[in-house]
């Protein structure tokens, strides 16, 4: 059993989608970051960095924070959603790209472009420009491929699950997915998956999955 502590953010949805894809038993515990529940002492015992999501694996006793580590752990444990051979390292490479670039930079776009528009022209331009650059990078990687990592058409993996929830906020980022056709096709392909549709609404329904 996985005890899953999360909220309705791209980082939370990365792991909830993986849990649904794996079909493993888990219990979702809502940690309302708007109310500061991520700072509660009981949660800090699980996630010292006071960020969601976090998990406790009751089968192994392992407690984990940080989405990349959680996703690698679950994929390795269940031997699913990770390519083999050289493609495995490509999946890890692009997972690190998401954690170090796509997620943090789009998070700044949300902060300055959606929530604080007009407060800093410099910040808006800086992060919007970087967000667009990252979309171009992803669009290039997806040229001729269905999924981010792997040979040929690629192989659906935790890398796709990690990137997709951030792209699902394209409206917040003022991104027109039509300008990135490979990303758009990939986004719609993944949005059709039943596990993605279920995982998007953990721990609660907020809105329908955005469609371009």
Domains of the chain: 2-80 (3.40.30.10), 86-193 (1.20.1050.10)
- The pLDDT score that the predictor gives to residue 86 is 93
Quote the pTM value: 0.97
The stretches in the chain having pLDDT less than 50 are: none
Size of the chain in residues: 212
- The pLDDT score that the predictor gives to residue 96 is 98
- The pLDDT score that the predictor gives to residue 155 is 97
In the chain, which ranges are E strands? Answer: 2-6, 26-30, 54-57, 62-65
List % helix, strand, coil for the chain (3-state, nearest 5).
55, 10, 35
**Contact at 8 Å (CB) between 27 and 20?**
no
In 13-153, which ranges are E strands? Answer: 26-30, 54-57, 62-65
- The pLDDT score that the predictor gives to residue 90 is 97
Neighbours of 206 (CB within 10 A): 10
Using CA atoms of 189, 164, 162, 112 in order, give the dihedral in degrees to the nearest 10.
Answer: 170
């Amino acid at each position: 059993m996985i005890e899953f502590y999360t909220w309705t953010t791209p980082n939370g949805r990365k792991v909830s989608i993986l849990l649904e894809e794996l079909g493993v038993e888990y219990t979702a515990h809502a940690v309302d970051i708007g109310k500061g529940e991520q700072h509660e002492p009981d949660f800090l015992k699980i996630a010292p960095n006071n960020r969601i999501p976090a998990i406790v694996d009751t089968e192994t006793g392992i407690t984990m924070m940080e989405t990349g580590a959680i996703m690698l752990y679950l994929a390795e444990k269940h031997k699913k959603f990770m390519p083999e051979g050289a493609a495995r390292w490509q999946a890890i490479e692009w997972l690190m790209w998401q954690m170090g670039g796509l997620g943090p930079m789009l998070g700044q776009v949300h902060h300055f472009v959606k929530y604080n528009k007009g407060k800093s022209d410099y910040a808006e331009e800086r992060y919007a420009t970087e967000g667009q650059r990252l979309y171009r990078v992803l669009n290039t990687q997806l040229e001729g491929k269905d999924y981010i990592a792997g040979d040929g058409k690629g192989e659906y993996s935790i890398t796709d699950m990690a990137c997709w929830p951030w792209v699902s906020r394209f409206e917040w980022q003022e991104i027109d997915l039509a300008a990135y056709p490979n990303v758009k096709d990939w986004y719609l392909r993944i949005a059709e998956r039943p596990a993605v549709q279920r995982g998007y609404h953990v721990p609660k329904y907020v809105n329908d999955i955005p469609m371009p």
